[in-house]
Amino acid sequence: MEWFKKSKPGLVSQPKKDIPDGLWTKCKSCSEIIYTKTLEETFWVCPNCDYHFRISSKKYISLMLDDGKLEEFDQNLVSCDPLEFKDSKRYPDRVKAAQQKTGRNDAIISGLGAIDKLPISFVIMDFSFIGGSMGSVVGEKIARAIERAMDNSLPIVIVSCSGGARMQEGILSLMQMAKTSALLAKLAEQGLPYISVLTNPTTAGVMASYASLGDVIIAEPGALLGFAGPRVIRQTIGQDLPEGFQSSEFFLERGFLDKVVDRKSLRHTISLFLRYFTDNVSKRAGDPNTPGASSSVA
């Protein structure tokens, strides 16, 4: 891709003593100091070591969807406080703080968009909202996005980024795993494609439900994936974990991913998958309502 090549000369090798706020960014992996503008152009992938910085859900929308546009749904859904949960903070206060910080009502954006003119139901999680944790709102919005896909015979793409279920909603958070996975099972019966995209991190309750149930599953390089967190595993077995344990590459090797995909290639890869899965369906069925039929003329 053009912009990616162009960005290389922007690299600086000599770190300055004082880094002006925002102008330069230090790579978390190779410690290279990079011109922030360059990172913007590479969608926040280090030109030196390929480290994928965490980016906002908005940035993913702009890099993955046609015209960077999503027709958002259900953005007004907010969490209740079913347990009246309190640790150091009351749960409603925690939610309010996250809402003020992110300008969103919860850790997820969902709606309708298109990739290469193929309409899709699209979901993206946002780690900046209480660690992308899955509570009732996340579960409900994913459920509705799956139903939207079924109602309109559309494929669905879910970009996951989450530390797992949200503790503050207790057992109801756990049940979101059941709710989303059960609807995905129904979607599968209807022959509609589901592409699961994993970003750093996707673990625990999210990984043990919808994130692992894609017809194909792809992940960004170097993402932390898995069921149990590294800290818990280390504690349980009482020894250090091997290098690269639970990374995207680790799970690719173990057979749990189809492909590790650079951020810059996400859109193209998903587009290819969707064409493979939808073009044939429309030809086979000869039904104007099957996915791909309406867009295959485009």
Q: Where does this chain bind Zn ion (CB under 5 A)?
A: 27, 29-30, 32, 46, 48-49, 51
Stretch that binds other proteins, among 119-127, 236-244, 267-275, 289-297 (CB under 8 A): 236-244
The angle subtended at Cα 45 by Cα 252 and Cα 251, nearest 5°, is: 10
The residue within the footprint of other proteins, chosen from 23, 49, 182, 272 (CB under 8 A), is 182
**What's the longest Cα–Cα distance across the chain?**
65
Cβ closest to other proteins, residue 225 vs residue 281 = 225
Is 254 one of the binding residues for other proteins (CB under 8 A)? yes
Evaluate whether 109 touches 57 at the Cβ level (below 8 Å). yes
Contact 121/155 with Cβ under 8 angstroms? yes
Pick 55 or 145: Cβ nearer other proteins = 145
In the list Zn ion, other proteins, none, the entry touching 29 (Cβ below 5 to 8 angstroms by class) is Zn ion
Nearest distance from C-beta of residue 251 to other proteins, angstroms: 8
CA 290/CA 284 separation, integer angstroms: 10
Sign of torsion, CA 157 69 126 270?
A: positive
Least distance CB 28 / Zn ion (angstroms): 7
x/- track of binding to other proteins for residues 65-104 (CB under 8 A)? -----------xxxxxxxx-xxxx----------------
Task: Look at phi and psi of residue 147 and say left if phi exceeds 0, alpha if psi is from -120 to 50, else beta.
Answer: alpha
If contact means CB under 5 to 8 A according to the sort of partner, which of other proteins, Zn ion, none does residue 293 touch?
none
Least CB distance to other proteins at residue 118 (A) = 25
Binding-residue total with other proteins (CB under 8 A): 68
Taking CB under 8 A as the rule, does residue 238 contact other proteins?
no
Using the rule CB under 8 A, is 137 a contact of other proteins?
yes
11: tokens are: 């690299």
DSSP assignment of 147-171: HHHHHTT--EEEEEEESSB-GGGHH
Of 43, 130, 31, the C-alpha closest to 89 is 130
Taking the complex as a whole, the smallest distance from the CB of residue 15 to Zn ion amounts, in Å, to 12
> Using CB distances below 5 to 8 A depending on partner kind, what does residue 181 bind out of Zn ion, other proteins, none?
other proteins
Specify the amino acid at residue 291: P
Looking at the Cβ atoms of 166 and 263, the one nearer to other proteins is 166
Instruction: Judge contact between 137 and 130, C-beta under 8 A.
Output: no
- Name the DSSP class of 138: H
Distance separating the N- and C-terminal Cα atoms of the chain: 23
User: Among 7, 107, 108, 140, which residue sits at the site for other proteins (rule: CB under 8 A)?
Assistant: 140
Neighbours of 286 (CB within 10 A): 8
Nearest residue to 174 via CA among 131, 218, 206? 206
Nearer residue to other proteins within complex by CB, 10 or 191 = 191
- Which listed option, Zn ion, other proteins, none, makes contact with residue 27 (CB within 5 to 8 Å by class)? Zn ion
State in angstroms the smallest separation of the CB of 22 from other proteins: 32
As given in the structure block, the two tokens for residue 170 are 């207790």
| Distance (Å, whole) CA 152 – CA 169 | 31
Contact residues toward other proteins (CB under 8 A) are 76-83, 85-88, 105, 135-137, 139-140, 143, 165-167, 169-179, 181-186, 188-189, 203-205, 207-213, 225-229, 232-233, 236-237, 241-242, 245-246, 251, 254-256
